[in-house]
Amino acid sequence: MRFAIQLMIDRGDAAGETQEIISFERTNGALLIDELGLSLEEAKSALAALQIAITDAQVMDHSRRGRPCPCCHQPRQLKDKRTITVRTCFGKLALPSPRYRCCRCHEGPGVVAPVVAALPERVTPDLLALEARWASLTAYGVTAALLADVLPIDKAVNASTIRNDAMRVAERLEAELGA
Cβ pair 5, 22 in contact under 8 A: yes
| pLDDT attached to residue 81 | 95
| pLDDT attached to residue 154 | 66
| Residues 44-63 as b or e (16 or more Cβ within 10 Å = b) | bbbbbbbbbbebbeebbebb
Residues 6+ apart with CB under 8 A from 138: 146
**What's the pTM value of the predicted model, to 2 decimals?**
0.82
Closest-CA residue to 130 (of 112, 150, 160) = 150
Span 90-134, pLDDT tens digits: 888 999 999 999 888 877 778 999 999 999 999 999 999 999 999
Degrees (nearest 5) of the Cα angle 57, 60, 64?
140
Residue 75 is classified by DSSP as: B
Count the helix, strand and coil residues of the chain and give each as a percent rounded to the nearest 5.
45, 25, 30
| pLDDT attached to residue 117 | 95
Quick check: 46 pLDDT over 70?
Answer: yes
